[in-house]
Amino acid sequence: MHADAPELAVILVGGLGTRIRHLLQGRPKPLAPVAGKPFLEWVIRYLQGQGVRRIVLAAGYAGDQVQAFAESLDLPGVELRTVIEPEPRGTAGGFLHAWRQERPAPANALVLNGDSLALVPLAPLFAASRDPGCAGAILAVQVDDAGRYGTLDVATDSSLWAFAEKRGESVPGLVNAGVYLLPHATVTGLPVTSASLSFETEVFPGLVASGQRVRVASSRGAFLDIGTEASLAQADAFIRDNPSWFQPKS
């Protein structure tokens, strides 16, 4: 494992993919075929290229398909397993369900969505999380059209102020890439609950409201999520135009 990489990455793959379900033929959204492979495989190959070696898939809907995919994938140096949540628990709840089954408990954890990719280096995120007193770090990407994404309000010292609502208009902005790095102390401080828990509406706003510092690592680069019919149609070209991001780290 690369010296700066986190001990564990949890990829959230439990969503229903409601907006594109008619295109998925019963698959969970992260397993949508893109450039000849399930989209989730490209996410894992990207992580492999960033030096991440221990990965857990936090599955829910169609979890048996995610499990079968994980068992069939053989990437040198990557330890991959699946945890299936018994009911939908939100982004943070799904992560916690998977993290609490890891032994030994990791010192830190990378969390990311399995239906999106930000093709930017993760090293700045890793570095931001090491700042003294940092309760967590968020990867943000500057894009030309931020209308359909949640954006971030960030202070001049790169601390998070707030998550902003989707604007619905074509304007540049700093979008939340859905990639988070959390230290052990923050994870163990999250509530033990079987109810739904969201990073975006509960966890990070709660940390900021309590006076804890959340760092934002900002980059400019290619970003895609496959949550709409239009964006899924762009995914093949997105992968094929960026082959260097899916090579193993030497």
Q: What is the DSSP letter of 200?
A: I
What are the tokens at 236?
Answer: 């093949």
Average confidence score pLDDT of the chain: 91
The answer to whether residue 245 scores a pLDDT higher than 80 is: yes
Q: What's the pLDDT tens digit per position in 27-53?
A: 999 999 999 999 999 999 999 999 999
Containing structural domain, residue 137: 8-241
What are the tokens at 199?
Answer: 């990073």
Q: Identify whether the C-beta of residue 54 lies closer than 8 Å to the C-beta of residue 11.
A: no
> Tell me, what's the pLDDT at 164?
84
**Does 250 map to a domain?**
no
**Does 3 map to a domain?**
no
Q: What's the pLDDT tens digit per position in 157-207?
A: 999 999 887 766 778 889 999 999 999 999 999 987 767 899 999 999 999
Name the residue with tokens 């997105």: 238
CA distances from 29 to 51, 62, 174 (A): 25, 10, 25
Classify burial at 178, counting beta carbons within 10 Å of its beta carbon; exposed 0-12, middle 13-18, buried 19 or more.
buried
Identify which of 245, 223, 177, 234 has the alpha carbon closest to the alpha carbon of residue 34: 234
**Does 199 map to a domain?**
yes
> Tell me, what's the pLDDT at 1?
43
> Tell me, what's the pLDDT at 246?
96
Q: How far apart are CA 70 and CA 83, in angstroms?
A: 11
| Number of domains forming the structure of the chain | 1
**Does 2 map to a domain?**
no
**Does 149 map to a domain?**
yes
**Does 249 map to a domain?**
no
> Tell me, what's the pLDDT at 145?
85
**Does 247 map to a domain?**
no
**Does 248 map to a domain?**
no
Q: Identify whether the C-beta of residue 219 lies closer than 8 Å to the C-beta of residue 141.
A: yes
The strand pair at 160-164 and 79-84 is best described as: unpaired
CATH of the domain at 86: 3.90.550.10
Q: In the chain, which ranges are E strands?
A: 8-13, 33-34, 37-38, 54-59, 79-84, 108-113, 116-119, 134-143, 151-154, 160-164, 173-183, 213-220, 222-225
